[in-house]
Copies of this chain bind each other. A is one copy, B any other.
Amino acid sequence: MNYSPPVRATLRLEELKSRVFTLPEHPDWIPYRTSYYEPRWGFCASHRQMADLVDGDYEVCIDSALEDGHLVYGECFLPGDSTDEVLVSCHACHPSLGNDNLSGVTVAVRLAQHLVAKRRRYSYRFLFIPGTIGAITWLARNRERAARIRHGLVLTCIGDAGGFHYKKSRQDNAEIDRIAAHVLQHHGEPAEILEFSPYGYDERQYCSPGFNLPVGCLMRSVWGRFPEYHTSADNLDFLKPLSLAESLRVCASIVDVIENNRRYYNQKPYCEPQLGRRGLYRSTGGDGVEGETFARLWVLNLSDGKHSLLDIAERSGFPFSAIQDAAECLMEGGLL
């Protein structure tokens, strides 16, 4: 058990059993237990293994030490055109567990690799930290810098076969909250938006009232709600390569919106400019227009300097990428 103080002793089986955590309903799984800030010692084992032990004396040894040490964390910073930052945070305090730990690290690393080669409007900061104390430590050492964070995501439990869950930031309607909801809505897989609450992973720290950062939490299955959570069954078999890949794709889509969500001005705001003459118009042959053209009409109509492309995507029902494509075409055509 994590946080156990050192012990060397000989115990009778009865005494030993009182110190061992097992999962009777999953006799082959080993639970993952901690005793943070309470110096209690103990072991975690499979129920079957304990059942097989015969009566007798058992030698017990925990070679640990509760003493001051160092907190180690990883930080990866990718500078962008602006000093405004996007934060991606995952916990790395018990990486033997797959979904609840390793999946977040994996997706974050791949997302950083995806971004490193790109021109970036924002700067990106990736944190690989022990849960709770890691976020607290980083925030304590970077209080000024934290104020530069414009959008943030905590990634956890993001590699299993379950549908997506996005937990909103304390701000409740921050741009990252709208972006995550929009991307998940158009992504195709089942997804659910959860309200903020002051419990969970490191969004608790980023969303504490002194910081109140726009940081949400992206998950597939929600921590604590799947039986493998905090057991040895949350292993590499529980992670699905396709799920990890889709999770990365969702993260990349979120970053795409973050990078490209700007406000534009229609340069011909008095009535509709003739798109046909500029090669930007396609009818359906009947009396409608093709989706591509319709997206352009939306961008022209709402680009008054007040509506962002995300606003336009939300109001029109088009995915952000279609609205962004429309904006690019219109800019090339000199209309935006």
Contact = CB atoms under 8 A, between A and B. Distances in A.
Interface stretch (A50-58, A84-92, A186-194, A271-279): A271-279
A274 to B, nearest CB: 7
B208 A301 contact: yes
Question: Is the contact region of chain A dominated by helix, strand, or loop, or is it mixed?
Answer: loop
A207 B301 contact: yes
A209 B330 CA distance: 15
Contacts of A140: 270-271
B204 A287 contact: no
A229 B286 CA distance: 11
B197 A304 contact: no
A29 to B, nearest CB: 14
Given A223-B287, A287-B230, A300-B198, A272 B207 contact: no
B37 A270 contact: no
Q: What copy number does this chain have within its complex?
A: 3
Most chain B CB within 10 A, of A230, A301, A304, is at A301
Contacts of A197: 298, 316
A247 interface: no
A294 interface: yes
Contacts of A136: 271-272
Contacts of A207: 301
A24 to B, nearest CB: 14
A-B pairs, top 4 by smallest CB distance, nearest first, are A210-B269, A198-B301, A210-B270, A209-B304
Given A205-B272, A210-B269, 20 more contacts: A37-B274, A132-B272, A136-B272, A139-B271, A140-B271, A197-B298, A197-B316, A199-B294, A199-B297, A204-B272, A204-B301, A207-B301, A208-B269, A208-B271, A208-B300, A209-B300, A211-B270, A212-B304, A223-B287, A229-B287
